[in-house]
C-alpha cells in the first residue's frame, strides 16, 4: 500500500513539473535583450529586464528613441513592457493570442501571439493586417547572487552546442 502511495505521489509530482514547463512565464533571450514574461494583474505581460550591449555601455542608458509618442522617447528601454494584454492559458495549438507587442526598433505596437514550441522556445509574432513577422526566443534560467546581481543561462542548449 505504501508503494502505491509513493508511486501516485511521484506520478503527480512529475505531472506538476511537466505542467510547469508548459508556460511562457519566465525569462527569455530575445535577439538583443532579456525579457521577463510575468503576470500583470490578471493578464500576462513581458518586460525588458536587460539589453545586450557592447562592453562598457550601460544598458539602462538606452532610450526608447524610436517611439511614435514623442513623450516616451526619453524613457529607458530597460523596464519597458513590450508584451501586454495576453490572457492566461495556452490554446490547443500551444498559443497565447489577443495581446500586443511593442517593437522598440521601430517604435510601434502590433497585435501579437506567443507560441510555445516543442523545443521549449517560444515563437513571438507581431502582425499588422495579414502581414506577420516574428522571432524565436529561448528560455533562460536566472539565478540571483548574494550581491543582488543576476546570472542567466540557457535552459535548452541544443546537443550540437554542448
Q: Is residue 15 included in any domain, yes or no?
A: no
Picking from 85, 122, 88, the residue whose alpha carbon sits closest to that of residue 102 is 85
Domain CATH code at residue 82: 2.40.128.520
Looking at per-residue pLDDT, the higher value among 45 and 130 belongs to 45
pTM here is 0.80
| 81 exposure class (CB count in 10 Å sphere: 0-12, 13-18, 19+) | middle
Q: Is residue 56 included in any domain, yes or no?
A: yes
Looking at per-residue pLDDT, the higher value among 90 and 162 belongs to 90
Q: Is residue 5 included in any domain, yes or no?
A: no
Picking from 114, 85, 82, the residue whose alpha carbon sits closest to that of residue 99 is 85
Q: What is the domain range of residue 121? A: 23-161
Per the structure, the count of domains in the chain is 1
d(CA 124, CA 115): 7
Computed from CA positions of residues 83, 89, 91, 94, in that sequence, does the dihedral angle turn out positive or negative?
A: positive
Q: Is residue 13 included in any domain, yes or no?
A: no
State how far the alpha carbon of 133 is from the alpha carbons of 4, 25, 54, 130, 136, in Å. Answer: 50, 22, 26, 10, 11
Q: Is residue 16 included in any domain, yes or no?
A: no
For position 89, what pLDDT does the model report? 83
Q: What is the pLDDT of residues 38-90, one digit of tens each?
A: 999 989 999 999 999 999 999 999 999 999 999 999 999 999 999 999 998 88
Q: Is residue 3 included in any domain, yes or no?
A: no
- Quick one: average pLDDT of 102-118? 95
Amino acid at each position: 500500500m505504501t508503494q502505491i502511495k509513493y508511486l501516485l505521489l511521484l506520478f503527480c509530482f512529475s505531472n506538476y513539473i511537466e505542467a510547469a514547463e508548459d508556460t511562457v512565464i519566465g525569462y527569455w533571450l530575445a535577439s538583443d535583450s532579456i525579457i521577463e514574461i510575468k503576470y500583470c494583474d490578471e493578464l500576462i505581460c513581458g518586460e525588458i529586464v536587460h539589453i545586450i550591449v557592447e562592453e562598457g555601455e550601460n544598458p539602462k542608458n538606452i532610450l526608447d528613441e524610436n517611439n511614435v509618442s514623442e513623450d516616451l522617447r526619453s524613457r529607458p528601454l530597460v523596464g519597458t513592457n513590450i508584451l501586454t494584454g495576453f490572457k492566461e492559458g495556452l490554446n490547443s495549438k500551444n498559443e497565447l493570442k489577443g495581446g500586443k507587442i511593442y517593437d522598440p526598433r521601430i517604435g510601434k505596437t502590433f497585435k501579437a501571439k506567443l507560441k510555445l514550441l516543442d523545443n521549449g522556445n517560444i515563437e513571438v509574432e507581431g502582425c499588422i493586417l495579414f502581414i506577420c513577422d516574428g522571432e524565436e526566443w529561448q528560455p533562460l534560467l536566472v539565478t540571483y547572487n548574494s550581491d543582488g546581481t543576476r546570472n542567466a543561462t540557457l535552459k535548452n542548449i541544443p546537443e550540437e552546442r554542448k
